[in-house]
Amino acid sequence: MQSNWNPEELKIRHMVLADVDDVMKVERRSFTAPWSRQAFVTELADNQFARYLVLEYSGRVIGYGGVWLIIDEGHVTNVAVDPDFRGKQLGEQMMRALMSLCTLQGARKMTLEVRVTNVVAQRLYEKLGFETVGVRKGYYTDNQEDAYIMWVDLPELNQEAFAE
């Protein structure tokens, strides 16, 4: 836990290839079945539907999140915050940033899967308006744990607000 926390030093920005090594540090500390480095490189370089953001604090990547934007839906691929920085509502900030990104890109809904045992994440998603709509049996490959499927309707953009 960081004792000299200064929220003014936090920023959220688009992930670039140069971030992947730092993202991998967060990934490995956050998940029992982490994505590979190549998976992130492929997402950034080759997946036209992928959008990834990083949380940066004092020049250090401390979290990230990603979505696939397909037609009018955003599918959250992953969200992680370095364990040393948890408890500061950074996961919520990242999710809100992803929701805003999806809305600005024309998405009307967002979906995600979450482990049935990850109650902390479920509560966050519910706070943001997500509702559980189903279960994917054996979804997680590391232990065949089930996943809840959650959805949220995104607000419509007021296009007049962007008119001159």
Q: From CA 102, how far away is CA 72, in angstroms rounded? A: 9
**pLDDT reported for residue 4:** 85
Q: Give me the catalytic one of 52, 57, 64, 125.
A: 125
**pLDDT reported for residue 32:** 87
Strand order in the sheet with 109-115: 10-14, 50-57, 60-70, 73-81, 109-115, 147-153, 131-136
**pLDDT reported for residue 164:** 45
Specify the range with the lowest mean pLDDT, choosing from 1-15, 26-40, 80-94: 1-15
Query: Does the pLDDT of residue 162 top 60, yes or no?
Result: no
**pLDDT reported for residue 2:** 52
Q: Give me the catalytic one of 56, 64, 113, 148.
A: 113
**103-117 confidence digits (pLDDT tens):** 999 999 999 999 999
pTM for this structure? 0.91
User: pLDDT grade, residue 7 (50/70/90)?
Assistant: confident
**pLDDT reported for residue 160:** 52
140 given a catalytic annotation: no
Q: From CA 98, how far away is CA 51, in angstroms rounded? A: 9
113 given a catalytic annotation: yes
Structural domains in the chain, sorted by start:
7-162 (3.40.630.30)
**13-64 confidence digits (pLDDT tens):** 999 999 999 999 999 999 988 999 999 999 999 999 999 999 999 999 999 9
Q: Where are the alpha helices (DSSP H) in 31-65?
A: 37-46
